[in-house]
Structure 1
Amino acid sequence: MTASNIMASVATEQAQDRVDILGIPVDRFTFDQTLEVIDRFVREKTPRNAVTADSSAIIAAQSDPEFREVLLRADLVTADSAGIRWAARRKGMPIVERVSGVDLVDALCARSADHGYRIFFLGAAAGVAEMAAEALRLKHPGCNIVGTRHGYFPAESDEVVASEIAPYKPDILFVAMGIPRQEKFIARTQSIIQAPVS
């Protein structure tokens, strides 16, 4: 199967299994299906944007055109709140389970130990990402966390920070800088960092 066929297959699968919540398409994948999609993204090595959206993200997108566009262009948008699941159920398209960012970080660190995924953490105050990385290394021996960096910098420095991260060649970039800052950072710097999953 060619890369374009794989991309078309993913796009078709997602289009058939998404629910529109206030104009934002949210994937209805289970947690395990989400991990399978992310595994595929890593294997394909094409930069992809995965968003774990809670209700506040959907609301923020209503009044922030840039953020709305980021969500509309995202390759994967999971339901990270009971509110989104409730809205999907009301539309007759229930989402089986919440797929949270915290749970994905843990599961993907476990997968990193098994598959060698290179992971980078960006966010929080100085030292916090390092502590999180160390805790995850202890929990998942072999977890391949290749770097960390604090998330306290102005948007004007996004490209500079992205250039600092790029040499680490992460397969997965976790960004924790708050909604919508983190999603905007990923969208603005995806072409620089080139991580298969951010």
Structure 2
Amino acid sequence: MTLQSEVVRPGRVDILGMPVDRLNMDETIRLLELFVNERKPHLVVTADAAGIVQAQSDGEWNAIFKNADLATADSIGVIWAAKRKGTPINERVSGVELVDRICALSADKGYRIYFLGAAPGVADLAAEKMKLKHPGCNIVGSRHGYFPPESDTVVAQEVALTKPDFLFVAMGIPRQEKFIRATESIIGAPVSMGVG
């Protein structure tokens, strides 16, 4: 039995060919904790309508999305589409809310978190705000996301030194997911998620 089988997964719904998991926030958090316990890389997509539409014309992003370990419903448009298909998703599970919940868990369980992305200073500020909101939150590093794809390996090596359990990447869809997929074997974070 795999760790993932310990969480009841109600299945996925197909939205324009993209699979979206029908989990609520609590189920998602439990699954992410199981991913951490597995100690192998997992990619999480926070699926919004724009990302699903973009996957229709970007083959690499389409393949990454379809092969993600988890795709949460991160917009009302995705919730609406699932309901129209007769396979409702009962709750929006946004990347922002997931980051907050994981930071709270980190304060209790010591999960190692890394923030990567946005303009210089933004990831550092986000990390500081989470530390203030969740005293004891174990943020092991942060770095801006303004670097070219040619530097992905160098940045990944920097991040890997911190041994994160959770890597939150805010570089915009699909750049952030492409970075995660291309560098997951270097970084080795059990959970990597695009968040912006």
User: Which of the five TM-score ranges fits, normalised by the shorter chain?
Assistant: over 0.9
2:108 to 106, 109, 114: 114
- Could you tell me how far 1:48 is from its partner in structure 2? 0.3
Aligned to 1:84: 78
Assess if the C-alpha contact under 8 Å between 2:160 and 2:187 holds in 1: yes
User: Partner of 1:177 in structure 2?
Assistant: 171
2:120 aligned residue (126, 145, 160):
126
What is the aligned-residue identity percentage?
63
Q: 1:161 aligns with which of 155, 166, 177?
A: 155
1:196 equivalent in structure 2: 190
Which secondary structure does the structure 1 equivalent of 2:178 belong to?
helix
CA distance in 1, matches of 2:60, 2:54: 10
* Residue equivalent to 1:34: 28
* 2:159 match: secondary structure: helix
Q: Which whole-Å deviations, capped at 9, do the CAs of 1:54-73 have from their partners, x for residues lacking one?
A: 00000000000000000011
- What's 2:19 paired with? 25
Deviation at 1:44, TM superposition (A): 1.1
**Which amino acid letter does the alignment assign opposite residue 190 of structure 2?**
P
User: Paired residues, what number?
Assistant: 192
Tell whether 2:146 aligns with 1:152: yes
**Structure having the larger proportion of residues in helix:** 1
Query: Could you tell me which amino acid in structure 2 is paired with residue 9 of structure 1?
Result: S
Alpha-carbon distance in structure 2 between the residues aligned to 1:40 and 1:108: 13
Match of 2:5 among 9, 14, 17: 9
The answer to which structure has the higher strand fraction is 2
2:58: which partner in 1? 64
Q: Counterparts of 2:172 and 2:164 in 1: how far apart (Å)?
A: 21
Letter in 2 for 1:197: V
SS at match of 1:120: strand
> What TM-score does the superposition give when structure 2 sets the normalisation length?
0.95
- Output the aligned Cα RMSD: 1.3
Question: 1:9: how far off?
Answer: 2.8
Q: 1:49 is paired with a residue of what secondary structure? A: strand
The equivalent of 2:135 in structure 1 is 141
**1:178 counterpart SS class:** coil
Separation in 2, partners of 1:7, 1:51: 20
* Deviation readout 1:115-160 (Å, 9 max, x if unpaired): 1000000001111111111111000000000000000001111111
Q: List aligned pairs for 1:91-106, cutoff 5 A.
A: 91-106=85-100
* Deviation at residue 40 of structure 1 after TM alignment: 0.5
**Structure 2 counterpart of 1:196, which letter?**
P
Query: How much does 1:46 deviate?
Result: 1.1
